[in-house]
Chain A
Amino acid sequence: MSTSQPTSVVSTSAPPGGAPPGQARGARRLREPHAAGSTRGLIVKIALMALVNAFGAYVVLAAWAEGSFGILWSMVALVVVADYVYFSRRSLPMKYILPGLVFLLVYQIYVVLYTGYVAFTNYGDGHNSTKEDAISALLAQNERRVEGSAGLPLAVIQDGDGNLGFAVVRDGEVLAGTAEQPLEPVDGAVVEGSAITDVPGWTLLPRAEILARQADVTTLRVPVSDDPEAGSVRTQDARTGYSYRPSLEYDAAADTMTDLTTGTVYRPNAEGLFEAEDGSTLGVGWRVAVGLDNFSTAFADDRYAGPFVRILAWTFAFALLSVVTTFLLGLFLAMVFNDPRMRGRKIYRTLMILPYAIPGFLAALLWSGLLNRRFGFINEVLLGGAEIGWLTDPWLAKLSVLGVNLWLGFPYMFLITTGALQAIPHDLLEAAKVDGASRFRTWRSVVMPLLLVATGPLLISSFAFNFNNFTLIYMLTNGGPRFTDASVPLGHTDILISMVYNVSGIDGSAPKNYGLASALSIVIFVIVATVSALAFRQTRKLEEMS
């Protein structure tokens, strides 16, 4: 191999060692005519690698500043691997695989593994972050004004990015800070009487604007220091600030939270919450591993189990019926048009595949208008003003979803079955005829098996695709009509993936529950993988038969 890769021979001049130098030089002389091209290649390569390294250095520094050490070390590893692969001669195949592999590792494999991890935690509203974050949040949220403390002269200020902040005078010193940035002394500030008139590096907010942003000002909380126990400064009138202190106290040694007003002691429990003796808990919790709780919620919890089972059944029915109906219609049309005597087949074919050629989301949205109960074209024009609830009646909605998917999917099946039919050798059909097989018999015993062998894998992927056909469901019915007997926002045409979307609450329409959503994702994956594996085995059997 070494004589055949001049580019990397040249590029290895930086790291010493490697293949015998004589051989490399020989190769170089041999391919004299290509030298220009290779030099250009080398320049491009070095430029690209310089960019990669620069980006890596930037990310490492930024991650250091943010304290994100996971990202930092991953980036270091990536850059080291990339440099090794592209400047060493021993990793030729990796030179071609690495770019795609990096994206695959980060955005596919990592997220799949992370989904697996989240599925076993209670990540979601109330359990959003780590225990330390939860403690800081609890201390910040439960603050009271320090009784009897004196008011501090205060001015509302703004930094260059437009973030609101406070400047206060404490012990004759002017301090300034924002919600994110704790109070720090400012040099050269001007105080006249009890009013702050100038703070270098900040702009004082004019009175009119303070009034306009009153709500922001009165809820602003500027921490005194990085330590959440030190409390904060707040104001009611934008002139005087008061010190606030947490009404909770965290004891790091005992790992307990104490309410200073009532004296109640809260201890951390297994669910990631601080819990008192009487079972009451504090509002903010943290992420903990909860084992199989999410899975048992899906299968056994009163709120979810009922809808889950119905949605699971409908998902199977939807995916299966979609494949069967589109396949049958596509096959029928393919048979009809598979007659060379018929004219204009090309025009028919082009017009017929139109539904397949327009983006699926447009089709689903378009049909949601066509099927509208009061104003839709189907009801008002085709059915003469009937008010049929195509998308609002539980059973009709299911029928509509299948009907729209038939419209969307039959051209695909038509195309692949046409291809498969034309690929069947004529002599097989002739032979069947000579043997005296009837038309029907020929179909059943010769054409269908061959057709299924050819299209089987495509039917399986079509099933897998429809099993997760989120766009269609979400855009056509949005899962509706809603289950009337369930407390969670799920409906009669929801399939598993749209249930995952609703349960996750990621668009803010429901409380977030990432743990349960991830667990359901895993369930979907297991189902699709199992069905595909079984079906593949089945088609292989068919293949052996014929």
Chain B
Amino acid sequence: MATPAPVAASVPRAASAGEAPPQRHRMSTRRWFTEIGWRHVVGVVAVVYAAFPLVYVVSASLSEGGTLTGSNALFSEISTENYAALGDTVFWTWMGNTLFIAISTAIGTVLMGASAAYAFSRFRFTGRRVGLTSLLVIQMFPQMLAFVAIFLLLLGLGNVVPSLGVNSKIALICVYLGGALGVNTFLMYGFFNTVPRELDEAAKIDGASHTQIYWTIILRLVSPILAVVGLLSFISTFGEFIIARVILQSESNWTLAVGLYGWVSALLEANWGLFAAGAVLAAIPVLALFLFLQKYIVGGLTAGAVKG
């Protein structure tokens, strides 16, 4: 860490010369180990620590018996029995529910958050500062703290409009959308401010309306932040438990978080194989999104978002 600049310059040369050995020509093995090698040791330990539960769950999902004990011998047998058995359960319904809820919430969150951020960033109106400050204050109170009140509100709403009441997926999406503005407007507001106003002005002079400016110019330029917000919203909705558990009551309406918890908490030993297979499948959409959009997420993280 002492003198990064000259050493950094030497890396491409060493790499182009061949494989590992060339480094040793310039550096004794001992020196290589004290300066770089130990970092690989730490790296391997960290990777083992990070990945072994995941290796385990993949192995458990492929084991035949489907019990907790039977899963302990890693990869001793390979069978797709657990995956096939998922077909006889409500698992795929839960998967469908979860994806429906998470995708709808992500889209709604992006649209509503972006348009609010556009208004705060581009228009000057009375109450703008107050509005921004109140959003900052409101987001301090996490929605999940109010789950009792949410439940009572939905009981009342459900008497009037059943699809907005308890045990409705639409109602759950609406509740999640209630948190959309508080959490994301700031993240987006900052990004919108980095898009030069001259672009809007030019479009305005050319006769574009504010809706045209918003849909055709601004939204395209801020697409990285839209991706981040949509993704974070999708991921946090995907794993949200407490509100989903309170609102969704019948088994066919559950999300994966509620359903898989039910399996594990009810009969841990017997359902383990099913759970492992379900967990692998459930992790895939989020994992894939995460790895594909890693770059965006890291950028979004440093801008102040926390995964739920």
Complex Cα distance, B238 from A108, in Å, reads 20
Contact A101 B181 (CB under 8 A): yes
Indicate if A19 sits at the interface (CB-CB under 8 A).
no
Contact B178 A341 (CB under 8 A): no
Indicate if A506 sits at the interface (CB-CB under 8 A).
yes
Q: Do A470 and B144 contact each other (CB < 8 Å), given the known contacts A62-B160, A96-B119, A108-B179?
A: yes
A424 to chain B, nearest CB (A): 11
Q: Do A66 and B181 contact each other (CB < 8 Å), given the known contacts A30-B207, A354-B54?
A: no
Contact A348 B47 (CB under 8 A): yes
Binds B, one of A230-238, A240-248, A355-363: A355-363
Indicate if A412 sits at the interface (CB-CB under 8 A).
yes
Contact A524 B145 (CB under 8 A): yes
Indicate if A471 sits at the interface (CB-CB under 8 A).
yes
Contact A59 B160 (CB under 8 A): yes
Indicate if A504 sits at the interface (CB-CB under 8 A).
yes
B176 to chain A, nearest CB (A): 8
Q: Which residues of B contact A337 (CB under 8 A)?
A: 39, 43
Q: From B150, which residue of chain A is reached at the shortest CB distance? A: A111
Which of A96, A411, A457, A524 has its CB near the most chain B CB atoms (within 10 A)? A96
Q: Hey, what's the 0/1 contact readout for A275-300 against B, CB within 8 Å counting as 1?
A: 00000000000000000000000000
Could you tell me the dominant secondary structure of chain A's interface residues?
A: helix
Those of B38-60 within 8 Å (CB) of chain A: 39-40, 42-43, 46-47, 49-51, 53-54, 56-57
Q: Do A461 and B306 contact each other (CB < 8 Å), given the known contacts A41-B211, A359-B282?
A: yes
Contact A31 B148 (CB under 8 A): no
B191 to chain A, nearest CB (A): 16
Contact A358 B212 (CB under 8 A): no
Indicate if A160 sits at the interface (CB-CB under 8 A).
no
Contact B138 A108 (CB under 8 A): yes
A363 to chain B, nearest CB (A): 7
Contact B69 A375 (CB under 8 A): yes
Tally inter-chain residue pairs, CB-CB below 8 A: 330
Complex Cα distance, B272 from A380, in Å, reads 16
Q: Which residues of A contact B10 (CB under 8 A)?
A: 341
Q: Do A333 and B239 contact each other (CB < 8 Å), given the known contacts A30-B207, A111-B149, A470-B144?
A: no
Q: Which residues of B contact A103 (CB under 8 A)?
A: 112, 174, 177-178, 180-181
Interface residue count for A (Cβ, 8 Å)?
119
Contact A376 B68 (CB under 8 A): yes
A458 to chain B, nearest CB (A): 7
Contact A96 B118 (CB under 8 A): yes
Indicate if A342 sits at the interface (CB-CB under 8 A).
yes
Indicate if B257 sits at the interface (CB-CB under 8 A).
yes
Q: Which residues of B contact A426 (CB under 8 A)?
A: 4-5
Q: Do A521 and B151 contact each other (CB < 8 Å), given the known contacts A30-B207, A96-B115, A335-B1?
A: no
A378 to chain B, nearest CB (A): 10
Contact A336 B39 (CB under 8 A): yes
Contact B304 A458 (CB under 8 A): yes
Complex Cα distance, B152 from A96, in Å, reads 30
Indicate if B222 sits at the interface (CB-CB under 8 A).
no
A78 to chain B, nearest CB (A): 13
Indicate if A181 sits at the interface (CB-CB under 8 A).
no
Could you tell me the dominant secondary structure of chain B's interface residues?
A: helix
Give the residue of A68, A107, A335 whose beta carbon is less than 8 angstroms from that of B177: A107
Contact B56 A370 (CB under 8 A): yes
Indicate if A38 sits at the interface (CB-CB under 8 A).
yes
Give the residue of B144, B175, B272 whose beta carbon is less than 8 angstroms from that of A369: B272
Indicate if A501 sits at the interface (CB-CB under 8 A).
yes
Complex Cα distance, B144 from A504, in Å, reads 13
Contact B175 A107 (CB under 8 A): yes
Complex Cα distance, B123 from A93, in Å, reads 6
A70 to chain B, nearest CB (A): 8
Indicate if A542 sits at the interface (CB-CB under 8 A).
no
Those of A38-69 within 8 Å (CB) of chain B: 38, 41, 58-59, 62-63, 66, 68
Q: Do A362 and B260 contact each other (CB < 8 Å), given the known contacts A101-B116, A341-B7, A380-B72?
A: yes
Indicate if A34 sits at the interface (CB-CB under 8 A).
yes
15 contacts between A and B (CB under 8 A): A27-B207, A66-B159, A68-B159, A92-B123, A96-B116, A99-B112, A114-B146, A366-B56, A370-B53, A420-B302, A464-B140, A514-B152, A521-B146, A524-B145, A529-B140
Further 19 A-B residue pairs, CB within 8 A, beyond A367-B53, A380-B72, A415-B298:
A5-B209, A6-B209, A34-B207, A59-B161, A62-B161, A93-B125, A100-B113, A100-B181, A108-B181, A339-B39, A351-B47, A352-B47, A354-B50, A357-B286, A359-B239, A360-B308, A370-B56, A458-B304, A525-B140
Which residues does A use to contact B, with CB under 8 Å? Answer: 4-8, 27, 30-31, 33-34, 37-38, 41, 58-59, 62-63, 66, 68, 70-71, 92-97, 99-101, 103-104, 106-112, 114-115, 118, 123, 333, 335-344, 348, 350-363, 365-370, 372, 375-377, 380-381, 407, 411-412, 415-416, 419-420, 426, 433, 439, 454, 457-458, 461-462, 464-465, 468, 470-471, 474-475, 478, 497, 500-501, 504, 506-507, 514, 517-518, 521, 524-525, 528-529, 532
Which residues does B use to contact A, with CB under 8 Å? Answer: 1-2, 4-5, 7-8, 10-11, 15, 35-36, 39-40, 42-43, 46-47, 49-51, 53-54, 56-57, 67-69, 71-72, 111-113, 115-116, 118-120, 123, 125, 128, 131, 138, 140-153, 156-157, 159-161, 174-175, 177-182, 185, 204, 207-212, 214, 235, 238-239, 241-242, 245-246, 257, 260-261, 264-265, 268-269, 272, 275, 279, 282-283, 286-287, 290-291, 294, 298, 301-302, 304, 306-308
